[in-house]
Amino acid sequence: MINILIVDDNKNNIFTLHTLIKEYLNVHILEADSGSAALKLLMKQPVDLIILDVQMPHMDGFETAQLIRTRQKMQHIPIVFLTAAYKSEEFRQKGFAIGAADYLTKPIDTQQLIARIKSYVRFIEQDHQHKIDLEHKVQERTKELLNARNELERRVEERTAELLLAKNKAEQTQKIAEDANLAKSQFLANMSHELRTPLNAIIGYSEMLQEDAEDLGPTDLIGDLQKIQAAGKHLLGLINDVLDLSKIEAGKIDLYHETFDLMTVINDIVSTVQPLVEKQNNILKTVIDDNLSEMQTDITKLRQILLNLLSNAAKFTEQGTIRFKVNHQIRKDRLEWIIFCVADDGIGMTDEQIDRIFQPFIQADGSTTRRYGGTGLGLAITKQFVQIMGGMIQVNSELGQGSTFTLYLPAQVMATPIDSPSGPAPLKIGTILVIDDDASRREWIKHDMNQLGYNIAVANNGDEGIQMAYKLSPHAIILNVNMSDISGWRVLSTLKNNAFFVSVRVILITKGTDENQWYAMDATDCIDKSLVRSQLTAILKKYHIVDHSTALAMVVDDDKTWRANLVYLLEGQGWHVLQAKNGQDALKQLENKMPTFILLDINMPVMDGFEFINQVRKHEEWRSIPILVVTAKNLTAEEQARLNLHVKTILQKDAYNQNELILYFHQLISESLFTSIE
């Protein structure tokens, strides 16, 4: 049966049209005496044709048609305007511009009206029949696709089994290779340690024999003993390099942080390297910042790094100048950095050589090794040390013109290594904090998310994660709940009990057995450890993490259940929703994102709705945001008048159903759009 809706504020007009249509057509007639009544009826049952009066109080036919067209499921319904007041061509064109199928004027031409309605009814019946035929075709096609899917699933299962077997073999091969590499590193570390003991004895005895020869003679042996001592020290240096590299690869390198006077250490290093500089007839020029004070880092590794860079500059430069510059900078993140720069005018390097310079056992090329010696381990170890100490190293060089190595290190010990001398970047849209004590998982999550355009900060334990969350205010937190130092559940509880983080998405990584617990703890979602890599991107997309969409609403309410209901209702209408549990939390979020409108409760802790409105109206850029108050509070006349000055609508929580709220939302946005157009 076809449903026709007649909308007119005049009951006599409705009766006349109803009687006339039923006389000629077998259809079901629905009636509404206002635009609002028509919208409510349209939300409850399907309508095939609307006959709409234009001149009505409160909401005329044009406004009603505009709101109907904003609802996706109503956009296809034909609308026939019927009016006695708006007969001009201007209004006729306005009706068609809104989306009317026809525009008729009163008094009614019975034959013309019935003919028009009959044509629409025939079209609707044909459309219904077409839909029925289409459904039959879809059902048949669905059966075909189902059979094809079953066949495809069978083939996929077979292929998956083959791929799983290949994957297992690849993982076994990789594990064998990793075990072999670890065994190699451990072997080299042990062998290097065993070799140093007899080598130190050789160096010691050569020194003793040299002293005896100088005191007792024969003096002609002194040169040979000096060669033995020099060769022993050179060999000891090579063994120490192998030992350091092996420890790094085996994961056994340790940092010993201490606070020291940086100027004293620099003077010692300059004194140590001076003989090497003079040996090649070079000149060492130092430029040291007068404001240098104390530094906190591993002093032994700092000495080793700087001595390696300066000795390399001295070795590859003859009769030239080596410049050693040290200064400090305080970046926008308020962290202090020490910058060391070693520049020479020696042999320099090509771009291809620079690409290989930090690889173990690699020097610029074979001729460099033959002429200058060495194993090519120094810079590889230097780079590893720098990264472990939380800094970075850069190199610029030109063949025949010299090289410049620039080292950036934090003046104070940082919680985690970083990738740039600027320290953690200032917060901007797209910051995600990863809290996990599994280093490998932290690194590949960081790599994968960086590729997708997110800014990633990492913390390697729970306490550090809580501190970084307060510092960075991230948009989302990825949290491993099974960490060794502190339970992830405790971290989640700490965050969710703080109003500042109530709207931050927290995605948990678990063993796959804690679903009920994460739901009770108000986490956003949960991923099994074995599926993190395959599911993380989809989860971030699912919850619109860092979504730049303008279809944004804000719900401010301390009632968690009511807030969840409003969010569900708005998201069902295609909105993205910001949530805040009180006015203070909402103001903090407004600093980063501008919603299209705000749904606001009045009674809330920390900052209630009245104070929130006062704060919003103080900011020029926020004053235009429409505010819809939804409250369970019985407002006094004074409070009602106070709110009427600043809000669009005031609704009681227990007096409106979902469809009526949707209608208010659409009216609110429609009014805002019309105001902006005017």
| pLDDT tens for each residue of 582-599 | 999 999 888 877 888 888
> What single-letter DSSP state applies at residue 79?
E
Per-residue pLDDT of 270-317, as tens digits, reads 988 898 899 889 999 999 988 888 898 888 889 889 988 998 899 889
Quick one: which H or E segment has residue 477? strand 476-480
> Which of 76-85, 379-388, 462-471, 626-635 shows the lowest mean pLDDT across its residues?
626-635
pLDDT tens track for 196-210: 667 777 877 777 787
The Cα 590–Cα 469 span in angstroms is 19
Both structure tokens of 581: 């549990």
631 close to 601: Cβ distance less than 8 angstroms: yes
Answer for the pair 532, 438: CB distance below 8 angstroms, yes or no.
no
In the chain, the amino acid numbered 101 is: A
Q: Which of 377-391, 455-469, 629-643 has the lowest mean pLDDT?
A: 629-643
The 10 Å Cβ neighbour count of residue 525 is 16
Q: What amino acid occupies position 285?
A: K
**Model-wide pTM > 0.75:** no
| Separation of alpha carbons 322 and 313, rounded Å | 7
CATH number for 3-108 (one of 3.40.50.2300, 3.30.413.10, 3.40.718.10, 3.40.50.150): it is 3.40.50.2300
Where are the chain's structural domains? 3-108, 210-250, 258-410, 431-542, 552-677
Q: Is the pLDDT of residue 423 over 50?
A: no
414 pLDDT band, cuts 50/70/90, is low
Q: Which CATH architecture has domain 431-542?
A: 3-Layer(aba) Sandwich (3.40)
Fold type of domain 258-410 = Heat Shock Protein 90 (3.30.565)
- Using a pLDDT cut of 70, give the percent of the chain over it: 76
* Helices and strands, counts by H and E, the chain: 21, 22
Decide: 27 and 73 in contact? Cβ < 8 Å: no
Select from 30, 102, 97, 31 the least CA-distant residue to 66.
97
How confident is residue 424, by pLDDT bands cut at 50, 70 and 90? very low
For 360-400, the pLDDT digits (tens) are 655 544 444 444 445 556 788 888 888 888 888 889 988 88
> Which pLDDT tens digit goes with each residue over 196-249?
667 777 877 777 787 778 777 767 778 887 878 777 776 776 666 666 666 665
Say how many CA atoms lie within 13 Å of 442 toward its Cβ. 19
Span 168-173, average pLDDT: 86
CATH fold for domain 552-677? Rossmann fold (3.40.50)
- Same topology, domains 258-410 and 552-677? Answer is no
DSSP letters for 95-145: HHHHT-SEEEESSP-HHHHHHHHHHHHHHHHHHHHHHHHHHHHHHHHHHHH
